Each structure stands twice: as structure tokens, then as C-alpha cells.
Amino acid sequence: MTARSPFVLPEEATAAEAVAAIGDELSVFDDWMERYGYIIELGRKLPPFPDAWANDGHRVPGCQSRVWMEAEPRDGALFFAGASDAAIVSGLVALLLRVYSGRSPSEILATDPVFLKELGLIEALSTNRGNGIASMARAIRERAAAEHATT
């Protein structure tokens, strides 16, 4: 039996479609407690993150909780793996990776993380969690910029 890849595969054809789908899914819930439950469940569905990557070399700076990410370029796209030691943050990782993983560096760079604010996620989170998700989005976009520069 082969181990499941830790990298998130895109569910939607484009980052814009992923953002729209997330917005539709969140709009089903009447309040933020229900949305938080949904986000936590998304985090539980992330592919298993290798223990060997849960180290300082993979840690995303600027997050209150511990967050780790890894990226792998493949066939002109960047695939991301991620994890956190906090349930809600794992869900936020899952949301970001749903939007950005499996996309070309140029599509990642063209997809401004302002969607996090537009979906009400930033306002609904504590200041530290809001800063943390912004740090995660920045790390993804920095990796895409570095990859874009080499292609």
C-alpha cells in the first residue's frame, strides 16, 4: 500500500473557482460558530503531513500557532502540503491550500489573498489568527514568486 501524498490536489479548475466555492459553502451557515466547525472539519481532511517536516525549516513565521508548509513544483504548478498544531488553524491551512495548491506560480501571484477579507474570515478571527493566515498566504505567494523567477 502506498502512502498518500501530503500535497493538496485542486478540487476546482481555477483559484477563482475555489474562492467562489468556499464562499458558497460558508454562506450555508447562519453564524460563525457553525462556520468555525466547518473550517475545523476541513483541517481534519488535510492529507497527512510528514512528521519529518514538522520542524523549523518548514515553519511559517508570524503565526501564533505552529504552522508548517512544504511546496513541490510539478508540471508547471506548485503543490503545497501544510499542517498546524491547532484545529482551527489547520482548517485555515486547508482553505488556503484549496485555493493555491496545484496552481501555476503566475495564477498564485494573480490571486490576491484579499478574498480572505471578502469572505469575512479576517474579521471573524482573533487579531493573532488573522495575522497568522496573512502570514501563511504571504509564504505561499513568496514561494510562487521565487518559482516564477526561475521559470
Ordered domains of the chain (ranges, CATH): 15-150 (3.90.1010.10)
> What is each CA distance from 82 to 76, 90, 95, 106, in whole angstroms?
20, 8, 11, 21
Compare 78 and 1 and report the one with higher pLDDT. Answer: 78
Coil, helix or strand at residue 102: coil
**Tens digit of each residue's pLDDT (9 = 90 or more) over 75-87:** 999 999 999 999 9
Residues shown for the chain: 151
**Tens digit of each residue's pLDDT (9 = 90 or more) over 27-67:** 999 898 999 999 999 999 999 999 999 999 999 998 788 99
| Cβ atoms of residues 85 and 59 within 8 Å | no
Coil, helix or strand at residue 85: coil
- Residues 108, 125, 121, 24, CA torsion sign: positive
pLDDT score for 19: 96
**pTM of the shown model:** 0.93
Catalytic one of 60, 63, 133, 139? 63
63 catalytic per annotation: yes
pLDDT score for 3: 61
pLDDT above 70 coverage of the chain, percent: 97
Q: How far is the C-alpha of 129 from the C-alpha of 127, rounded, in Å?
A: 6
- Residues 56, 75, 41, 124, CA torsion sign: positive
